[in-house]
Amino acid sequence: FQSAAVISPSTQRRNKGGRAPHPDAERSSKLLLREMFSSSPVTDHLREDLKYAVVPHDYMISIYRTYSAAEKLGLNASFFLSSKSANTITSFVDRGADDPLLSPLRRQRYLFDVSALSDKEELVGAELRIFRKASKEVQVPATGPYNLQLYPCRSERPLHSRSLDPLDSRKPGWEVMDVWDMFKDHPRSATGKPAPLCFHLKVTLGRSDTEVDLRQLGLDRTGRPQQEKAILVVYARSKKRENLFNEMKEKIKSRGSGKEEEEEDRGLQLKARRRRR
Amino acid sequence: TALNNRHGKRHGKKTKSRCSKKALHVNFKELGWDDWIIAPLDYEAYHCEGVCDFPLRSHLEPTNHAIIQTLMNSMDPNSTPPSCCVPTKLSPISILYIDSGNNVVYKQYEDMVVEQCGCR
Nearest chain B CA: its distance from A100 CA (Å): 27
What is the mean pLDDT of the segment spanning B39-45? Answer: 96
Enumerate the residues of chain B whose CB falls inside 8 A of the CB of residue A122. none
> Facing residues of A107 across strands?
A202
Tell me which residue in B34, B92, B106 faces A63 most closely, judged by beta carbons.
Answer: B106
Quick one: closest CA in A to B32, which residue? Answer: A6
**Do A242 and B107 count as a contact with CB atoms less than 8 A apart?**
yes
> Facing residues of B25 across strands?
B44
Nearest chain A CA: its distance from B43 CA (Å): 11
Please give the pLDDT value at position A269: 66
Please give the pLDDT value at position A179: 93
**Do A56 and B38 count as a contact with CB atoms less than 8 A apart?**
yes
At A201, give phi and psi (nearest 5°). -120, 135
> Count of A–B CB contacts within 8 Å?
98
> Kind and range of the H or E element at A131?
strand A121-132
**Do B98 and A50 count as a contact with CB atoms less than 8 A apart?**
yes
Whole-number CA gyration radius for chain A: 24
> Facing residues of A150 across strands?
A160, A201
The more confidently predicted of residues A194 and B54 is: B54
A38 touching B (Cβ < 8 Å):
no
> Kind and range of the H or E element at A249?
helix A244-276
Please give the pLDDT value at position B3: 46
B31 touching A (Cβ < 8 Å):
yes
Enumerate the residues of chain A whose CB falls inside 8 A of the CB of residue B35. 47-48, 50-51
Please give the pLDDT value at position A9: 36
B98 touching A (Cβ < 8 Å):
yes
**Do B101 and A115 count as a contact with CB atoms less than 8 A apart?**
yes
Quick one: closest CA in B to A74, which residue? Answer: B91
Please give the pLDDT value at position B10: 46
Please give the pLDDT value at position A21: 46
Angle at A41 between CA A39 and CA A46, to 5 degrees: 85
Nearest chain B CA: its distance from A231 CA (Å): 10
Sites in chain A below the pLDDT cut of 50: 1-21, 26, 30-46, 83
Please give the pLDDT value at position B45: 97
**DSSP states of B19-55:** SEEE--EEEHHHHT-TTTEEE-SEEE--EEESB--SS
State the DSSP code for A228: G
Is the Cβ–Cβ distance between A159 and A127 less than 8 Å?
Answer: no
**Do A67 and B94 count as a contact with CB atoms less than 8 A apart?**
yes
Is the Cβ–Cβ distance between A1 and A34 less than 8 Å?
Answer: yes
pLDDT tens-digit series, residues B73-112:
999 999 999 999 999 999 999 999 999 889 999 999 989 9
> Kind and range of the H or E element at A34?
helix A23-38
Residue type, A51: K
Enumerate the residues of chain A whose CB falls inside 8 A of the CB of residue B34. 51
Nearest chain A CA: its distance from B11 CA (Å): 24
